[in-house]
């Protein structure tokens, strides 16, 4: 049996790799959480269903088929062998709430580690807010300049593509010569 304060062998990197952005929110999927907690996905989802009042929409939502396909293609998530139901996505608050419905020691310890990862991520963003604002300003400036460059290229292409009309020679005509 593990000592009370000893965390399971789930690394910070493993947790970070399992955090996705869906609908503009950082989430973790039920299958990944179940794996870290050492339970079957079905068991995790049953515990949630028995305590559904603890999981409002901003804590947990079910992915649409398009969102799931997008995750599979973007992040090379395996297809999970023909899932019957779309996975559930848990926000930071939903992950924290899971500790109240999954009472195993491993689930509690993994939850502590996950909440700490989310807290560090939020702190990094706050600590670098000024940097993020500068990057955003540069992106906007580049987008504006990109539009201007595209307009210049369009004008240049139009100038190059114009059909050449035959011109009358310039100069004097000598009578009798063509």
CATH number of the domain enclosing 104? 3.10.260
pLDDT of residue 133: 80
- Kindly report, residue by residue over 31-43, the tens digit of the pLDDT: 999 998 888 999 9
- Kindly report, residue by residue over 132-159, the tens digit of the pLDDT: 788 778 878 877 777 777 788 778 777 7
Greater pLDDT, 81 or 115: 115
Do residues 42 and 112 both lie within one domain? yes
Do the domain assignments include residue 117?
A: yes
Do the domain assignments include residue 100?
A: yes
Do residues 29 and 115 both lie within one domain? yes
User: How many domains does the chain fold into?
Assistant: 2
Do the domain assignments include residue 1?
A: no
**Residue 7 predicted with pLDDT over 70:** no
pLDDT of residue 63: 93
Reduced to 3 states (helix: H, G, I; strand: E, B; else coil), residue 11 is: coil
**Nearest of 27, 34, 26 to residue 102 by alpha carbon:** 34
Asked if 39 and 104 touch (Cβ cutoff 8 Å), the reply is yes
Res. 83 pLDDT band, cuts 50 70 90: low
**Residue 64 predicted with pLDDT over 70:** yes
Do residues 72 and 138 both lie within one domain? no
Asked if 52 and 58 touch (Cβ cutoff 8 Å), the reply is no
Do residues 102 and 33 both lie within one domain? yes
pLDDT of residue 60: 95
Domain final residue pick, 109, 127, 145 = 127
Please enumerate in sequence order all residues whose Cβ is within 8 A of that of 104, keeping only pairs 6 or more positions apart, or say none.
37, 38, 39
Q: Please tell me the distance from the alpha carbon of residue 125 to that of residue 132, in angstroms, as a whole number.
A: 8
pLDDT of residue 1: 44
Do the domain assignments include residue 53?
A: yes
Do residues 150 and 102 both lie within one domain? no
Do residues 122 and 136 both lie within one domain? no
Do residues 120 and 50 both lie within one domain? yes
Do residues 18 and 40 both lie within one domain? yes
pLDDT of residue 13: 85
**Residue 178 predicted with pLDDT over 70:** no
Do the domain assignments include residue 121?
A: yes
Do residues 53 and 85 both lie within one domain? yes
Domain coverage including residue 97: 12-127
Res. 79 pLDDT band, cuts 50 70 90: low
Do residues 135 and 104 both lie within one domain? no
Greater pLDDT, 8 or 72: 72
**Nearest of 87, 112, 74 to residue 28 by alpha carbon:** 87
Do residues 102 and 78 both lie within one domain? yes
pLDDT of residue 126: 78
- Its pTM stands at 0.62
């Amino acid at each position: 049996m593990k000592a009370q304060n000893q965390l399971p062998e789930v690394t910070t990197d493993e947790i970070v790799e399992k955090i996705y952005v869906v609908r503009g929110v950082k989430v973790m999927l039920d299958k990944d959480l179940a794996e870290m907690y050492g339970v079957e996905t079905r068991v995790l989802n049953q515990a949630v269903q028995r305590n559904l009042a603890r999981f409002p929409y901003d804590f947990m939502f079910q992915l649409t088929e398009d969102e799931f396909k997008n995750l599979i293609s973007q992040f090379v998530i395996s297809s999970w062998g023909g899932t019957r139901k779309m996975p559930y996505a848990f926000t930071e608050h939903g992950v924290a709430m899971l500790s109240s419905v999954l009472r195993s020691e491993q689930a509690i310890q993994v939850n502590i580690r996950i909440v700490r990862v989310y807290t560090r991520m939020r702190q990094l963003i706050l600590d670098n807010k000024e940097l993020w604002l500068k990057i955003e300003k540069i992106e906007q400036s580049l987008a504006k300049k990109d539009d201007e460059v595209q307009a210049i290229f369009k004008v240049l292409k139009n100038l190059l593509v114009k059909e050449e009309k035959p011109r009358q020679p310039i100069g004097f005509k000598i009578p009798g010569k063509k």
